[in-house]
Structure 1
Amino acid sequence: MVQFPSGQEKAQTPPPSPLGVYLHVPFCASTCDFCAFYQTVPKGDAVRRYVDAVEAEAALVPWDSRRAATAFWGGGTPGLLKPAELEQLGRIMLLYAGQPAEWTVELAPATVTADRLAVLRQLGVTRVSMGVQSFNAGLLDALGRQHTPEQVYRAYELIRAQGFASVNLDLMFALPGQSEEQWRADLTEALRLAPDHLSTYCLTFEEDTALWIKLSQGKVKLDADKEAAFYVKTWEFLESSGYAQYEVSNFARKGHACVHNLNTWNMHEWVGLGPSGASQHAGWRAANPSDLTQWHADLAAGRRATTDRVALTNDLLAADSVIFGLRMNEGVSLPRLRRRFPTPGWNGLEELLPKFLFGGLLVATVEGRISLTPRGRLLADAIGADILEAFESAAKVGVK
């Protein structure tokens, strides 16, 4: 059996865990075929009631002396809100969580306006992430996206003109009918714009989406070999273009990796606000209901984060630290994690590691740092499932 440092060296007092804030803005004008995130079309005074409820929810959070290190607003489409509504939301977050060093807001190209961007910039937003998906009009239409390539270019110009510290573009590959040449053209066009960060996601077929229905009807098909080829070519092309891969789907120029996501993958703490917003905070992992009406009802009763509520045990955090940590190119330090999360589950991982090492999916250093090989990154989800099972099995044995 491969031996790794036990992590039983002299304990050191860990630094305070960085705190993140995630705000889910659930409003969209329409639903894209691939999207499984909770969203709803705003009607009547829905947005006003939502903003008021975010303030009520923030007042229920057991904030401690830490201020938020990072914030991330996702959706839905945060840019669907009016400038005054965005400002009110921002003031609420600043009041309760403080000014984060990194503050990301997701925007859809069709919602980007100079007025909205000016408000975000004045609030202290440092990072804008724009959901481009493709520069090909036909592929955008097939995804049900409500923007055109021309709107992407106009939105990008407006974002850059405001001087945000970092700009990310989201792109998707392995789309129905998409050729490798079309994907290469999308990457080339993105690089021409020179964003600071690129997120490239393989199209996934989530249940209860229009795309899932098309799959069940045989209108679209899965092609694992094609997906793998897209992954590899993407990694090679972006690396040669000066974008360092730091996670399976994320690439950045030096100094522009998303700190909020890094803290999340490293199993630090975050507070989730808004319907479907998930939290890992104050000893619990839980989520708000993915239902605007139920979320309002919970807050009216003085409740929050009531869905999928589980205690943050060492077993849970250790397993997730390895699973998500291995998605990052730098991998994880097993001695450091063993000191941070002491649990019998580590025995199960040590028994499993030789399978990955000898199978060419994993590499290890003598200091106990493990990371996935390029082939291993292609199988990251399957490897993660095996690691979770190993931790759970060993933890059960350890408590007998």
Structure 2
Amino acid sequence: MNAMPTATAATTGAVAIPTAAPRPTTPAPDPGSPYQSYVYAYPHKTAYRPLPDRPALRDLWRTEPKDALSLYLHIPFCEVRCGFCNLFTRIGAPGELTTRYLDALDRQATAVRDALGDDGPIRFATAAFGGGTPTFLTAGELDRLCDIAERRMGADLRAIPLSVEASPATATADRLAVLASRGTTRLSLGVQSFVDEEAKAAVRPQRRADVEAALARIRDARIPVLNIDLIYGIDGQTAASWRTSLDAALRWEPEELYLYPLYVRPRTGLEGRTAVGDPAWDEQRLRLYGQGRDHLLAHGYRQVSMRMFRRADAAPQGPDDHACQTDGMIGLGCGARSYTAALHYSFDYAVDMREIRGIIDEYTATRDFGHAVIGRRVDADEARRRHLLQSLLQADGMLVADYRARFGADPLTDFAAEIDRFTARGWLDGPARTTGLLKLSADGLAHSDALGPELFSPQVRAAMAAYEPK
């Protein structure tokens, strides 16, 4: 479970948003469990549907600002599939599948770059390789992946932040050497637990000795930022064993640490094996979250979001003027999403391994990448929700003035009912009308996975509920 680096909350490159119609009030759901949903993008991909008009990418991007884009390349392969994982990925790549996949990625990149046109400046401000496990690819294939980003898309990987996800088994010296030489500024390692019994319980076959060896290789490669992912809430995990993992990670002095609560989702390896919905499990995860947060804060880390902690003395990765709330994103690969102001689009999504294999096979056979096929329109109301969500879930919060400047409206009016609920629960830090800042309290950050879903629109919530998992 690796994570994209958090984008800055700046509002440069803002896109003009049409005047919103009267906003429907979102019904107040029962907050119930503090672990409703991990909100890392909005609208959620399960709200996407086939686009009957299959709009041409050239038309979608014609009027979009393209001077601070984010580039994401998705590699849907892993050596194993962890029990908690519902990412779009398959185990292994028989035959020449990785070659066929990179061939398709090259064709897609060519089509997308053509669709972006040449009538204005095109610049990528940040890049990431995710998955799956990008380092499943060989060193030579990783070189080709970087070539696709640079030569086809025009991204200057040595001049912008580049984040790459890896697993301990695939973080080999030759792969890391390629990534370091091509400008990687951040390497995110999915460890999850340094306790072998917990890794086994999470259906993640690995040994601590192998994890430690991988971390040594990463440090030897001198990639500026190391991120380590850890998970709390694993069956059999205790405060003592959680402390063991935290301390083991801290010995490597990672610039970033992500602490994830365990989720058990449909069609994953842990489904039916963990007591989902058990209040005792919620209490355990909240308790371990608090323990982990306090431990990292005491060791010189600052909290960036519920999950993300950054070492206070860590040097910045480099210039990053991409704002996730306002700037576009180009996703390449069959599990990637792309964002314009008015449409979010992707390819089909699945969790079941047979379905995933079929989607990958279809992707590798595709010749025409010039149209969006699956996605969701983003109207003025959804744009406001997305901006609030992606800003409020960061520890620094959202300046009310930034929202007003972009939308010509007051978030305290637009979301009065939701903000009143959050205030009553103690999830907000101080009166926003006085401070000019909508910011989560410590308790609000702890409940981010309950707060976020309450900002989903009724339409998105209905679409997600109607989605048939596959």
Matched, 1:98 2:155: yes
Map 1:246-325; keep pairs closer than 5 Å.
Answer: 246-254=304-312, 255=314, 263=322, 265-281=324-340, 283-290=342-349, 291-297=359-365, 299-303=366-370, 305-307=372-374, 309-325=375-391
Q: Is the 8 A contact 2:72 2:127 kept in 1?
A: yes
Picking from 298, 301, 317, the partner of 1:243 is 301
TM-score, normalising length: structure 2: 0.74
Q: Is the 8 A contact 2:161 2:320 kept in 1?
A: no
Query: What percent of counterpart residues are identical?
Result: 28
**Alignment deviations for residues 167-202 of structure 1 (CA, whole Å, 9 cap, x no partner):** 111111111110111001110111111111101101
Quickly say closer, same or farther: Cα 1:231–1:328, change in 2 above 3 A.
same
Unaligned runs of 5+ in 1: 1-10, 394-400
Shift of 1:166: 0.8
Shift of 1:392: 8.8
Equivalent residue for 1:5?
Answer: none
Shift of 1:295: 2.1
Map 1:121-200; keep pairs closer than 5 Å.
Answer: 121-200=180-259
Q: Is the 8 A contact 1:71 1:260 kept in 2?
A: no
Shift of 1:243: 0.8
Quickly say closer, same or farther: Cα 1:223–1:152, change in 2 above 3 A.
same
Q: Is the 8 A contact 2:133 2:167 kept in 1?
A: yes
Shift of 1:300: 1.6
Quickly say closer, same or farther: Cα 1:26–1:378, change in 2 above 3 A.
same
Is 367-376 or 281-290 further displaced after alignment?
A: 281-290
Shift of 1:48: 0.3
Picking from 43, 48, 63, the partner of 2:116 is 63
For residues 460 and 172 of structure 2, the distance between their equivalents in structure 1, rounded to whole angstroms, comes to 49
TM-score, normalising length: structure 1: 0.86
Map 1:73-88; keep pairs closer than 5 Å.
Answer: 73-88=129-144
Amino acid at match of 1:211: L
Q: Is the 8 A contact 2:403 2:409 kept in 1?
A: no
Picking from 220, 228, 231, the partner of 2:286 is 228
Picking from 80, 83, 106, the partner of 1:33 is 83
Amino acid at match of 1:31: R
Higher helix share: 1
For residues 201 and 47 of structure 1, the distance between their equivalents in structure 2, rounded to whole angstroms, comes to 30
Larger RCO (alpha carbons 8 Å, 6+ apart): 2
Unaligned runs of 5+ in 2: 1-10, 16-64, 350-358, 462-470
Q: Is the 8 A contact 2:412 2:419 kept in 1?
A: no
Q: Is the 8 A contact 1:279 1:285 kept in 2?
A: yes
C-alpha RMSD of the superposition: 2.9
Amino acid at match of 1:93: A
**Alignment deviations for residues 320-370 of structure 1 (CA, whole Å, 9 cap, x no partner):** 121222211111112211321346986340243233223311123424211
Shift of 1:282: 6.3
For residues 247 and 289 of structure 1, the distance between their equivalents in structure 2, rounded to whole angstroms, comes to 29
Shift of 1:281: 2.9
